[in-house]
A and B are shown apart, each in its own frame.
Chain A
Amino acid sequence: MSIEFDNNLPIYLQIMQYIKRQIVTGTLKAGDKIPSVRELAAELQINPNTVQRTFQELEREEVVETKRGLGRYVTSEESKIMTIKKEMAGELLERFLTGMQELGIEEQDIVNIVADAVAEGKQSSHRDGRGGTVNE
């Protein structure tokens, strides 16, 4: 498992996104144990201090909690996970809207385009992803 990192953006932010996505998509479930700093650093081939910082930020945001002597775990609060999901969706949306507006597409047209795309997406193969134009 190795992520494609963008060296122009802070790595710790990218890892945070990565972990949040894993939580939101259910790969990491509520209450699951998260790999240790060392393990993750070794897996992703990044500086352990960076991983440490990631975890600290995630803890601050209450996405992750430390249980003394046991390690780090994904928050067990489902509501928190929903919040993250909404936040991430919101970010995606913002980018999408900005992009569409830059292309000069009117608001009503955006809604129609999205409706069509979603309908099409249900028919075509899932391998192509979520049908969004944003790559991450």
Chain B
Amino acid sequence: MSNILELNHVSKTYGGKKALHDITLDIAPGRIVGLLGSNGSGKSTLMKLVAGLLHPSSGDVRVTGKAVGLETKSLVSFMPDRPLTESWMKVRDAIAYYRDFYADFDQEKAKEMLDFMKLGEGEKVRHLSKGMNERLQLTLALSRKARLYLLDEPIGGVDPVARGKILDAIVKFYDEDSSLIISTHLVTDIERIFDEVIFIREGELVMREEVETLRLKYGKSVDEMFKEVYAE
């Protein structure tokens, strides 16, 4: 099967500053990939480019071979670092929104996940705590049968219990035909669900490796590798 994601010499400049520099990578189906980097390294920018919220200054981004655009929006499920719900919504409205706009939305899965995450349908979105909100955003993103899931810091700023639930959900809903890219800087908790990790520093792709190879060959955990790569 062809690659789910291809980036070809992608660069992105914001007003003089190079957020991403000449990134080339591809991701096969059925992979859970960690996108690692310190804050401001370009992880979010990369995800937004793939999701179609930003446009590359140069280079080419393709999802299942198609250029990023209207079609790929149906293939990519993005969970950004800010809520995708509007303040007037209740939980069930958020679900309805997704169901109405995305043909691949799985209502059953969503209900299952809501129960799993202990979210009530009638709750007002703006009354949810940060942790509950993260759970909701994750539910929305994972209830779609997308080809590529992009999760931007899904466990940052969330209590350990919620974190566990979120990791659980990610593993449970894994599918061999699709891939997940998870960006995070909290590596220890999550590194055992990654197939491979990509390190981005100051907009450049610094390293890309299968996680078990890191452990086998270098005897290092991803967390340790991270510290080495980003040492100041």
Contacts and interface: CB of A to CB of B under 8 A. Distances in A.
Q: How large is the interface on B (under 10, 10 to 19, 20 to 34, 35 or more residues)?
A: 20 to 34
Nearest to B213: A10
A47 B194 contact: yes
Given A7-B223, A47-B32, A42 B191 contact: no
A10 B216 contact: yes
Interface string A1-13: 0000111111110
Contact of A42 (B168, B188, B215, B222): B168
Given A8-B221, A47-B193, A50-B192, A42 B171 contact: yes
B74 to A, nearest CB: 25
**Highest count of chain B CB atoms <10 Å: which of A6, A38, A48:** A48
B30 to A, nearest CB: 7
Nearest to B192: A46
Contacts of B212: 10-12, 50, 53
Contacts of A9: 215, 219
What's the interface size class on A, roughly? 10 to 19
Contacts of A5: 192
Contact of A41 (B174, B188, B216): B174
A41 B192 contact: no
A11 B215 CA distance: 8
Interface string A30-64: 00000000100110011111100100000000000
Interface string B153-196: 00000000000100110011010000000000000100111110
Given A10-B215, A11-B212, A12-B212, A45 B30 contact: no
A5 B194 CA distance: 14
Given A7-B215, A7-B221, A49 B195 contact: yes
Contacts of B219: 8-9
B104 interface: no
Contacts of A41: 171, 174
B11 to A, nearest CB: 31
A45 B215 contact: no
Given A9-B215, A9-B219, A11-B215, A49 B30 contact: yes
A41 B172 CA distance: 8
B139 to A, nearest CB: 17
Interface in B198-232: 211-212, 215-216, 219-224
Interface string B122-135: 00000000000000
Contacts of B194: 47
Contacts of B168: 42, 45
A42 B168 CA distance: 6
A45 B219 CA distance: 21
20 contacts: A7-B221, A7-B224, A8-B219, A8-B220, A8-B224, A9-B219, A10-B215, A10-B216, A38-B174, A42-B168, A45-B164, A45-B193, A46-B192, A46-B193, A47-B32, A47-B192, A47-B195, A48-B174, A49-B30, A49-B195
Interface of A: 5-12, 38, 41-42, 45-50, 53
